[in-house]
Amino acid sequence: MKLVSFNVNGIRAILQKDFIRDFNNLDADIFFIGESKFSEDIHLDFPFAPENYFTYWTVSKLKKGYSGVTVFSKKEPLSIHYGLKDEKYDEEGRIITLEFDNFYFVGAYVPNAGDGLKRLDFRMQYEDDLLDYLKELDSKKPLIYTGDLNVAHKEIDLKNPETNRHNPGFTDEERNKFSRLLANGFKDTFRELYPEEVKYSWWSYRMNARAKDVGWRIDYFIVSDRLMEKVKDAKIHNDIYGSDHCPVELDIDL
């Protein structure tokens, strides 16, 4: 089974580029889109409807052109849930969970701590709520958690760790929450398979960062510990453009 996660930084914008070609070439069984920025009435159709996929999506109810996540799945799930427990954070359109026979798929666009870390407290509460939610799911069946998680966990995960300390995505608080997540029964698939590999999934639009490969690895596939033995590969497709992120992939025997 192939799963792909891609923060597209605006679905309408990326549809004007090579996204449909890349989507077809990747041919994922489940394809998750983060930061769709789709702000039309939620009852209208999503602007991309690939054949042979079930489509599930949610938008920000607070601000137009903000956040939003979508999942395309070749197999119809048993159930779909939006937000965390009691739909928390769905007002910002951040999380979708699909339940299948033998696993849960959770796709998220994690809140950024913001300029001046003005949303760091909000982010910390999200991480606490997220862990509770994932542990509850994991007690029922194993799970796969993916998306733009907005944190570079280790120094190897960004080009310039020294100059980015205490910046959003590389604060001690965010990194410690990620460490806590892994300590509670989950694995970072790419780092488990490639402990020393330097590869990034996001680059600033400033200073020609992508051409210079001055990036961050902030897009992940996290799995329950007991699924790690089923993981065949974890990839970062940094040759695919169209967004300030690139797609990440998980190949797993499910």
Q: Active site residue: 109, 145, 200, 220, which one?
A: 109
- Catalytic choice (22, 148, 188, 219): 148
132 catalytic, yes or no?
Answer: no
The answer to whether 145 is a known catalytic residue is no
Q: Among candidates 192, 202, 186, 195, which has minimal Cα distance to 236?
A: 202
Whether 215 and 202 have beta carbons less than 8 Å apart is answered as yes
Contact 9, 245 (CB under 8 A): yes
Residues identified as active-site: 109, 148
